[in-house]
Amino acid sequence: MRVAILLVGLLTLLGAQAEEADHAAALASLQRADSLLIDVRSAQEFSAGALPGAIRIGHDEIAAQIASIAPDKDRPLVLYCRSGRRSGLAKQSLEELGYRQVINAGAYDDLLPLLEADQ
């Protein structure tokens, strides 16, 4: 019984941290002139390749730095990382701060071909 309770708790915790990527919403938002594309990966990952126009703010730094970059809480923010996990966590942090238009675009490798095809 304890194992079942632990498994349910673990799955609930993982589900709370997992955030589904919304590629369609990300692409639509990036068509807006006021949207901001944010790479929440590490500096090393960013230097190895990033989406055009993206700025880097680590997922663990975003809550402390976002107000200086995007003080308007209605500004569309599109986040991505390597797998979508960190961008999901960053999205959750930003929503807790009151940002209303935050989109988890998911993984860099999944988003790159979509952006190239959209151009």
Residue 80 CB contacts under 8 Å (≥ 6 apart), including other chains: 26, 37, 38, 39, 40, 41, 51, 54, 87, 104, 105, 106, 107, 108, 111
Q: Is 107 one of the annotated active-site residues of the chain? A: no
The encoded tokens of residue 100 equal: 């209303």
Name which of 116, 112, 101, 103 is nearest 21 in CA terms. 103
Q: Check 36, 40, 81, 94 and give the catalytic one.
A: 81
SS3 at position 36: strand
SS3 at position 103: strand
Active-site amino acid positions: 81
